[in-house]
Structure 1
């Protein structure tokens, strides 16, 4: 079998790259190890419940033109889906339980109640400080980027509007903690910003790029902003990308685990599947696997030992505990929010194991995700469950079950802060561990992704020293989540496209 470009992995980054390449006219084949496409964003059904396996918070996807790279990909491949919008979620913090909202002013009301006018003044000062940084962060749409000299033309369309933001660019490449130094002294605001940074990058403010936070401020703290949820769950986004891929002639192969990248004359020329089948690539192989898993597929001698070791040593975020619950939703004596953020103890540090727990109840927004009168819940520890506690355990052993029961208690307690009688309401209880995460997503040590701290390293982008091998996904672009991986896939796809087709795409999605 022969194709133009092979994509390893059908995560959002890989599907974004593949569908856009197909739109550009390339013959594309996506090889997915799992029986379901979507990677960490896949959905699955069980006993009438529709579960999201990963992402639960979406924004900038229900309107166009949008600064969200995933929306730019969907617009480029002319695929859309239905969204429900909302603006409020619940917080269960050491200070107490309360609701908060996106938007320019909503958080100010909560802050004044919790901390008083001095804290409110500091937040207002921060908003003023972030305004030029927000503008700078979205001054160049990710859809314009490519990894060759053609970027001088595609990005050049924005040079005139970019010039006023030039003084802010240096700040965006440093740690966010440097930006707020001297402006924010209130301990609650600093903790809150650490929490937001952790959700963006897996690191606190001192390790998170200013650009990531500026992009979030541009999206969340503006007048009239809404959050989005896709009707049908995260699987609806995956289905839209797959439709785009196949509409333009691309192919998705499921249960197609890539065992090795084929290298001839110091060039990647294809892949070999676990079953021995080979697929040749006339132009390139693009890996959407993590950096650690990509290295496992590259034959010895194809890249230098120094490069292999350098990339192997990329620091990792921790893994997950996942709860997928189907519950009886009758007679709950209060209105549920779609999302809750639980923080147990600020003093432990925001990245401490199981200190932050996220709860998503998407059936609040899309009742069709659960049977009538029921709710579907996804609760998880977002990249703060240590893998080493589980390493080497047999998933069928009593030791594994004992540890699973012990480590799940923190999530149960978080759920009980939202729904006190949650355990008695459960009709479906599926609990996953880092070994589950590692097994189903083929991610080294079940990791959330790279933990490259601002100022201590750079994300390498989509290029590699092996000719013909490119990479996309969360190991190549700063930030954790759908916008970052979609941007990474789009940038690689743009690099293969003729300049004329790239410019045409930008015009079609109303960016130029």
Structure 2
């Protein structure tokens, strides 16, 4: 026997940042929204958890564009639209441990030029400066089209009507940003270190090499990070604070979030998506639409076999996946570690390629900036290998087995090796240590093969978008908009929400918040 409830306008499957942006915006437009989350808390990868007084991050560690307005960051635009804000703490330096040496580099262009001059000489510094000068009008072009103004199909024209004067001078450069960033960088840069630096930034932002990373995304990032007053940000409360703000906005506008509600089936009746069935056999009907924030592979598994055209299903099933993560969460004694930057990025060997397994490690110690994330006299640390841990190494190992635990210790040794370069006695300082694998990621975040998300290269043409062959079924998340990370998934959520409202409603809201 199945139980059912009164229907809602919109059901969103999954409360990752894309799903929350979609649900909160749709509620802001007046739709009755229900977001269903299998986990016990919202946020997807952008959530936190607590152990013995240590507040750990599970996801994004590099944030920018939230502390100022106007902002080109689509997440900041969504928060503005739903009347929410998240306080941030700012900082300007991060540490890098590279084959060339260990450095502390400021986010702005001037500090980076000093590092390049010291490392590679004035000619390389001039090469980089020339590249930044060339990029400046392209950054302006990317910023001229607010991502929150996008909507599926040709109806974008209706949203932007009246703004053509602002866009017209940039149209040529906008067209040039439709592909990958790697070829652009190689046309202007010759110095090996500079090219490797571009590879590093691309992989950090998208989980893909430069030859597959969106040119528009990278040009936007360079426009933000290399301004004279550029800074990085840490949301007070971490990633969880972002999710909480989106949930507040969702509920403030009449929407609801239901956790511990795993969707097992998307109901398709009369060739249209009509609702969902949950693990407890509860059936919930959707009057307007169902939006899936689950991965494309998991979404396909929720649909009846015959509900999709065979070719479309096969094409999307074959979407390449980014590799997964290794994680280290540490609570450690550290009242004498204030000299360290909040973040470090380590690269082992440029020749192996930036995507090689365990060739890059990211370390974040946010308690240096927000001390109440850890008990007095202690620090909280999150380390991860960004999208470079192969699922094939883990798929046949049972979590908890001797073989699994042994491999986890062996593979996670890379964190300790890197940390001992910064904190030689780190093992003695550790009071809590949690190691994770792609199996951990798959278990807690319901991610396909523990993956970071689809590895859809910008060199392959347009992304699939939010629409599907099934009327009333839309997608949001990492498989919708170019690149993986916070800005793309926030944009994807907005795209799905805007597919449900008239262009005139969208335009009105964007004018109210000063985006158009």
Does TM-score exceed 0.5, indicating one fold?
Answer: yes
- Does 1:140 pair with 2:151? no
Match of 1:59, SS? coil
Measured against aligned partners, the alpha-carbon deviations of 1:40-75 in whole angstroms (never above 9, x if no partner) come to: 001111110111100011000011121000000000
1:359-370 pair list within 5 angstroms: 359-370=363-374
- Does 1:440 pair with 2:444? yes
What is the distance in 1 between the residues matched to 2:477 and 2:187? 35
Measure how far apart 1:392 and its partner are: 2.0
- Does 1:283 pair with 2:288? yes
Match of 1:67, SS? coil
Q: 2:86 touches 2:236 (CA, 8 Å); kept in 1?
A: yes
Match of 2:94, SS? strand
1:445-456 pair list within 5 angstroms: 445-456=449-460
Of stretches 498-507 and 213-222 in structure 1, the one that deviates more from structure 2 is 498-507
Match of 1:100, SS? strand
Of stretches 413-422 and 117-126 in structure 1, the one that deviates more from structure 2 is 413-422
Match of 1:167, SS? helix
Q: Which residue of 1 aligns with 2:215?
A: 210
Q: 1:233 touches 1:369 (CA, 8 Å); kept in 2?
A: no
1:43-62 pair list within 5 angstroms: 43-62=48-67
Match of 1:98, SS? strand
- Does 1:96 pair with 2:101? yes
Q: Which residue of 1 aligns with 2:340?
A: 336
What TM-score, normalized to structure 2?
Answer: 0.97
- Does 1:196 pair with 2:193? no
Measured against aligned partners, the alpha-carbon deviations of 1:413-439 in whole angstroms (never above 9, x if no partner) come to: 122222121111111111110000011
1:229-268 pair list within 5 angstroms: 229-268=234-273
What is the distance in 2 between the residues matched to 1:98 and 1:259? 49
1:307-456 pair list within 5 angstroms: 307-332=312-337, 335-456=339-460
- Does 1:79 pair with 2:74? no
What is the distance in 2 between the residues matched to 1:174 and 1:23? 33
Measured against aligned partners, the alpha-carbon deviations of 1:365-398 in whole angstroms (never above 9, x if no partner) come to: 1111111111000000000001100002111210
Evaluate the alpha carbon distance shift between residue 15 and residue 205 of structure 1 in structure 2; reply closer, same or farther with a 3 A threshold. Answer: same
Match of 1:181, SS? helix
Measured against aligned partners, the alpha-carbon deviations of 1:268-320 in whole angstroms (never above 9, x if no partner) come to: 10000011111000000000011111111111100012111100111111000
Match of 2:211, SS? helix
Q: 1:140 touches 1:158 (CA, 8 Å); kept in 2?
A: no
Q: 2:159 touches 2:504 (CA, 8 Å); kept in 1?
A: no
Measure how far apart 1:161 and its partner are: 1.5
What is the distance in 1 between the residues matched to 2:209 and 2:448? 23
Measured against aligned partners, the alpha-carbon deviations of 1:93-118 in whole angstroms (never above 9, x if no partner) come to: 11111101112311101110010011
Q: 1:203 touches 1:351 (CA, 8 Å); kept in 2?
A: yes
Match of 2:465, SS? coil
User: Which sections of structure 1, spanning at least 5 residues, go unmatched?
Assistant: none
Q: Which residue of 2 aligns with 1:486?
A: 490
Measured against aligned partners, the alpha-carbon deviations of 1:120-154 in whole angstroms (never above 9, x if no partner) come to: 01101110121121111111001111125542121
Q: 1:20 touches 1:73 (CA, 8 Å); kept in 2?
A: yes
Q: 2:186 touches 2:195 (CA, 8 Å); kept in 1?
A: no
1:119-130 pair list within 5 angstroms: 119-130=124-135
Match of 1:133, SS? helix
Measured against aligned partners, the alpha-carbon deviations of 1:26-53 in whole angstroms (never above 9, x if no partner) come to: 0000000000110000111111011110
What is the distance in 1 between the residues matched to 2:162 and 2:72? 16
What is the distance in 1 between the residues matched to 2:217 and 2:443? 30
Q: Which residue of 2 aligns with 1:163?
A: 168
What is the distance in 1 between the residues matched to 2:128 and 2:163? 31
In angstroms, what is the RMSD of aligned CA positions?
1.2
Match of 1:80, SS? coil
Measured against aligned partners, the alpha-carbon deviations of 1:65-92 in whole angstroms (never above 9, x if no partner) come to: 2100000000000001211111111111
Measure how far apart 1:491 and its partner are: 1.5
Q: Which residue of 1 aligns with 2:36?
A: 31
Match of 1:395, SS? coil
* Equivalent pairs, count: 511
Q: 1:290 touches 1:449 (CA, 8 Å); kept in 2?
A: yes
Match of 1:29, SS? strand
Match of 1:430, SS? strand
What TM-score, normalized to structure 1?
Answer: 0.98
What is the distance in 1 between the residues matched to 2:162 and 2:53? 50
- Does 1:10 pair with 2:15? yes
Q: 2:13 touches 2:263 (CA, 8 Å); kept in 1?
A: yes
Q: Which residue of 1 aligns with 2:119?
A: 114
Match of 1:260, SS? strand
Q: Which residue of 1 aligns with 2:233?
A: 228
What is the distance in 2 between the residues matched to 1:504 and 1:182? 41
